Structure 1
Amino acid sequence: MTLSISPPSRMVKSRLFFSQQLTHRPAWLLMLVLILSVWAAATMGAVTITWSDWLAILQGDDEPLSGGAYVLWHLRLPRILFAVMIGAALALSGALTQGLFRNPLADPGLLGVTSGAACAAALTIVLLAGSGIEVPVALRYWLLPATAFAGAVAVCFILDSVARWLTADSIAGLLLTGIALNALAAAVIGLCTYLATDEQLRSLTFWTLGSLAGANWALTTALLLALILAFWALRRLTHTMNALALGEAAAAHVGVNVRALRVRVIMLVAVLCGFAVAWCGMIGFIGLVAPHIVRLLVGPDQRRLAPLAMLVGAILLLLADTAARTVAIPAEIPVGIFTALLGAPFFLILLARMRRGS
């Protein structure tokens, strides 16, 4: 008996075409939402921005900018781009963390990575001032990012070691480890707060609540270079991350060096979190919410998940920062409050869905 395979029907062809197009449409939709969010963030605020202010910047005259054009170029545009890139960095670190631990609840904030970076920065603020060491002005911008990076790396490797010791797929053990690391970091930050002077206390408050008020073109350029390098490294990791989703044993059978992959992902997450925390303080839940939104749209494939998560993270943080600086004009509310108001209910809903699915 011979088997004959008939060509796919029109309905099957239409379904295949629709499924292929669906993976491209979210990217264009998210880009449109991001552009509209940038426009809204640039025009909203204590100072009204008009078309003449945009034209003054585009013309590039030798005359110094004034009024709305000055606010737009020197204050809002750097802050907007900074919010976009910080949101993208946090979302990418969240997507990588969830892929590494094969855990939908994994997040650099929940697992103590951002707390470790903030703890290292707090120790630097308090202990360095007490030691009397004079730091050159040119190095001050890079000192806190370097120490925050070291703190994030330390917490990542501790977490990875504990995850190896715990049973595979132990969500409760992984989350409890992150809670313990968060508590330890919070204790150290609290001790630094107790020992800090009034000036240091204001800096520590910035770290615990999060703010994008310190954005400028120099920091934006540095973060852009870091994101370019991270995106270049991401292209080399997506295929192996997809293999790791099947389990460490299955990934090793197809030729993936799981240990080297863990190290590369941990270093990349540490770099992204270190940069974000060092310049913006602790901003939580972006790395948890953004990958889940994208996963609902395009599925778990890291080749699409990670880049689109960066877009969603950029949109979420930009909207949160816009609300933070416009809700209580002329005062400014810390952006970490708005991200927590967004992320905490989402986290509870996610836990409820996982309980119903179990």
Structure 2
Amino acid sequence: MRPFLFSKSSAANQALAKKNHSTQFIAGGTNLVDLMKKHIANPESLVDISSALPNKVENTTKGISIGAMMRNSATANDAIILAKFPLVAKAILAGASPQIRNMASAAGNLLQRTRCPYFYDVTTPCNKRQPGSGCSAINGENRMSAVAGYSEQCVAVHPSDLCVALAALDASVVVNDKDGKTQTIAFQDFHRLPGNTPQKDNNLPANALIRAIEIAANPFAKNNAYVKLRDRDSYAFALVSVAAALHLNGDKIVEARLASGGVAHKPWRWLAAEKYLKGKTANIANFEAAANIAIKDLKPLSHNGFKIPMLKGAIETALKQCLDL
């Protein structure tokens, strides 16, 4: 790790005033410190923003607001989250370790970078780390890589569990710029697919900070599930994950939500499967049909074809768990 300057800011505008091309913000540091150790991130200065941003979950007129500096463990155990948005808690508790959840922040979770092994290996080409150098994974070891939304430039996947639940619940991201102006970005538009600019993970504006994550009130508090399939039971990133939620009227599905991690460069919504389920009876046959719709057009790489049947089973299982079947 190279030497760096360190300072703290107690307000967002104060922190943004210090931002330049050689400065990075640090909150929990659970991802950035690793990147610095690997010489992937080499900031000349770090600005600690842990005291500059909200750290509460609050009710709003439309739903709730999760402060950017809410620690993941605190969010997962918050009474409002558990009562109104338990899918968020389930996703958080499926990720990382208790120690990391105690440090990681809500906003930092959104901004974490891929765990693709080639991204972390500075001796190999990686378009995300060094644009134009090539993608080592596309014809290399791509067992953990994407099956949807990838490009010739990058096949990396987004590592977050929390973000999968937020995608399923149509959250939004509230950001502040250095002039104090507020902008709200729909969660589905926040993260990017790689396209020809794989080095860009998200659409956070330059010289801006995430202030909060908002989730509108919804009818999914009762029937929801988070399924994560991985190589070991704890402290491992998803091979495939599924956040599922159903709004039921008796045994009829009024509305369904399905999102996945481990399959694309961003949290991935299965919109066609959701559309199919709307108005259908909540039963195993329809869950299997929805899973088949989700996997229909996926294109696995040389070493991750196993993800297709795994994803199908995870979707079916998550939907069944929504009913406690």
Q: After TM superposition, is the score higher than 0.5?
A: no
TM-score normalised over the length of structure 1: 0.23
Bigger share in strand: 2
| Structure of higher CA gyration radius | 1
Q: Report 1 or 2 for greater relative contact order, CA contacts < 8 Å, sequence distance ≥ 6.
A: 1
TM-score normalised over the length of structure 2: 0.25
Bigger share in helix: 1
